[in-house]
Amino acid sequence: MSFDVAAIREQFPILKREIDGNPLVYLDNAATTQKPQCVIDALVDYYTTCNSNVHRGAHRLADEATRRFEAARDIVKDFIHAPKREEVIWTTGTTEGINIIANGLSQLLSTGDEVIATGMEHHANLVTWQQACKASGATLKTVPVTDDGELDQTAYEALLNERTKFVAFPHVSNALGTVNPVKAMTAKAKEFGAWVLIDGAQGAAHCKVDVQDIGCDFYVFSGHKIYAPMGIGVLWGQASLLENWPVWRTGGEMIATVTLQNATWNVLPYRFEAGTPNVGDAIALGEAIRWFSALDHHAVVAHEKALLDYATELAENFDGLTIIGNAKHKIGVLSFVMDQGHPADIGFLLDRQGIAIRTGDHCAQPLMTRFGVPGTARASFSLYNTLEEVDILFAALKKVRSMLA
Ligand SMILES: *Cc1c(COP(=O)(O)O)cnc(C)c1O
């Protein structure tokens, strides 16, 4: 099956937009992806035909909303190959999923325990563990990043020991595009009995995710980076852990019984879903994953790799441009700096030509410090981008270079 990028683009209405008379070239996919019409339709259809609060109503709309909401949970379960549907917890996104686990962890750790994260984290997967360690007296260690932008596996092994209770790392770096060897890293942590959380914010849309094959305990991701709306995400965790993990938010739906002085907690997944959930966006996330899963995964990966390879080749031959992050295994992220200008200026001048990239620290300040840069310019590709758009980017960068020189 070949990959028909024109047919894919047809399904994304926003890609028809123009910016100051230029066709939009959207290369900020690591920040958020655009939404296909079927996802927009799923959201509109929910609010048009069956908006209702779930699980509580004894009426037709509540039944329909509940059925669609729980069907979306099944779609996620299959997508990440989770053993049990009740292990799929709805969140607002990656950040909230990590916070739920970190909050519980802070109550489970004590002085002398160690937590390992890495030097390539998004702040969401670093500051959370800093806080959990500060609250519990545990110590945070971090895996260094090599010059190529990979995790130093020898150093990682040296950090692991009997005191290691928890290990967190990204499936894929949002700032560099590095794909980490998550299965091997999980296996090493498991030799010491540590719990493992994987930040899958970038992994879900670009890598095959099989939580049972990886062997991790927790996997989190955001809907909006995989063609679904903002405000919905997934925390997956092993039932045996989540059943006993300290609860985070308390309130309606997450309780079993309540007296004036005490309460007991509901079963999974509701134990972690206090309050009215984001029903419409959960249904739309289900639709996004259904749509994405129906594509030929190998063709998608090959297309995104072709975009990265072409962009990398042009970047390597572009005077004054330095790529940050040359890992052997990358998704379509090209992070770079230019001798002539600050990343913010590059972003501004590209926007004038209709090209959307991201500039700055990408919520990864320690990683920027590691590479001695204040930030980078980052073009990140998705399945709807084209080789012509890569050409447009580099033609525009030539103009930027001469304007800044
Ligand atoms: C985007 C991102 C996050 C945070 O996701 P939110 O949707 O903002 O909660 C965390 N980690 C990585 C690697 C990301 O790319």
Which residue is listed with tokens 């994953």? 289
104/185 same-domain check: yes
* Single-letter code of the amino acid located at 376: T
307/256 same-domain check: no
Q: How far is CA 88 from each of CA 72, 224, 312, 374, rounded to the nearest angstrom?
A: 10, 17, 37, 38
Q: Is a pLDDT exceeding 90 seen at residue 139?
A: yes
Q: Is a pLDDT exceeding 90 seen at residue 333?
A: yes
CATH code of the domain covering residue 392: 3.90.1150.10
Report the residue count for the chain. Answer: 405
Closest-CA residue, ligand 1 atom 1, reads 201
- Is 204 touching ligand 1 by the criterion CB < 6 Å? no
78-100 pLDDT tens trace:
999 999 999 999 999 999 999 99
Whether 363 sits among the annotated catalytic residues: the reply is yes
Q: Is a pLDDT exceeding 90 seen at residue 405?
A: no
Burial readout 182-216 (b: 16 or more C-beta within 10 A, e: otherwise): beebbebbbeeebbbbbbbbbbbbbbebebeebbb
Which whole number is the average pLDDT over 285-293? 98
Atom of ligand 1 nearest to the CA of 202: 15
Residue at a domain's end among 269, 293, 317: 293
Confidence of residue 1 (pLDDT cuts 50, 70, 90): low
User: Residue 58 C-alpha to ligand 1 middle, in angstroms?
Assistant: 37
Which residue is listed with tokens 């129906």? 294
189/224 same-domain check: yes
Q: Is a pLDDT exceeding 60 seen at residue 311?
A: yes
Confidence of residue 118 (pLDDT cuts 50, 70, 90): very high
269/364 same-domain check: no
- Best substitution site from 174, 198, 219, 378 to test ligand 1's pocket, by max atoms within 8 Å of Cβ? 174
Structural domain containing residue 57: 41-293
Atom of ligand 1 nearest to the CA of 122: 11
Which whole number is the average pLDDT over 51-59? 88
Confidence of residue 58 (pLDDT cuts 50, 70, 90): confident
User: Residue 31 C-alpha to ligand 1 middle, in angstroms?
Assistant: 8
106/214 same-domain check: yes
Going through 249-350 in order, the beta strands assigned E by DSSP cover 255-258, 263-265, 321-323, 333-338
pLDDT for the residue numbered 55 = 85
Which residue is listed with tokens 């926003």? 14
User: Residue 56 C-alpha to ligand 1 middle, in angstroms?
Assistant: 32
Q: Exposure of 122 by Cβ count < 10 A (0-12 exposed, 13-18 middle, 19+ buried)? A: buried
Spatial CA neighbour of 332 closest among 285, 382, 369, 282: 382
Given a contact cutoff of 8 angstroms between Cβ atoms, the answer to whether 138 and 310 are in contact is no
pLDDT for the residue numbered 3 = 86
Cis peptide before 181 (omega within 30 of 0): no
277/264 same-domain check: yes
83/179 same-domain check: yes
300 half-sphere exposure, CB direction, 13 A CA radius: 17
Atom of ligand 1 nearest to the CA of 124: 10
- The β-bridge relationship of strands 233-237 and 263-265 is unpaired
- Is 174 touching ligand 1 by the criterion CB < 6 Å? yes
32-46 pLDDT tens trace:
999 999 999 999 999
CA separation for the pair 317, 311 (Å, rounded): 10
* Single-letter code of the amino acid located at 24: L
The tokens for 222 are 């955001």
* Single-letter code of the amino acid located at 167: V
- Does residue 32 belong to any structural domain of this protein? no
257/395 same-domain check: no
CATH code of the domain covering residue 206: 3.40.640.10
Which whole number is the average pLDDT over 121-125? 98
Q: Into how many domains does the chain fold?
A: 2
198-219 pLDDT tens trace:
999 999 999 999 999 999 999 9
230/370 same-domain check: no
CA separation for the pair 57, 41 (Å, rounded): 25
Which whole number is the average pLDDT over 46-59? 91
- Best substitution site from 32, 33, 95 to test ligand 1's pocket, by max atoms within 8 Å of Cβ? 95
- Best substitution site from 126, 199, 382 to test ligand 1's pocket, by max atoms within 8 Å of Cβ? 199
216-230 pLDDT tens trace:
999 999 999 999 999
Give the percent of the chain with pLDDT over 90.
98
Backbone angles phi, psi at 259, to 5 degrees: -115, 180
Percent of the chain that is helix, strand, coil (3-state, to 5): 45, 20, 35
The tokens for 134 are 């500060």
- Is 335 touching ligand 1 by the criterion CB < 6 Å? no
Given a contact cutoff of 8 angstroms between Cβ atoms, the answer to whether 91 and 100 are in contact is yes
The tokens for 89 are 């917890």
Which whole number is the average pLDDT over 177-192? 98
Mean pLDDT score of the chain:
97
348-388 pLDDT tens trace:
999 999 999 999 999 999 999 999 999 999 999 999 999 99
SS3 per residue for 329-363: CECCEEEEEECCECHHHHHHHHHCCCEECEEECCC
- The β-bridge relationship of strands 22-23 and 263-265 is unpaired
Segments in 81-198 forming alpha helices (H): 94-108, 127-136, 153-159, 182-190
Model-wide pTM > 0.95: yes
Given a contact cutoff of 8 angstroms between Cβ atoms, the answer to whether 247 and 257 are in contact is no
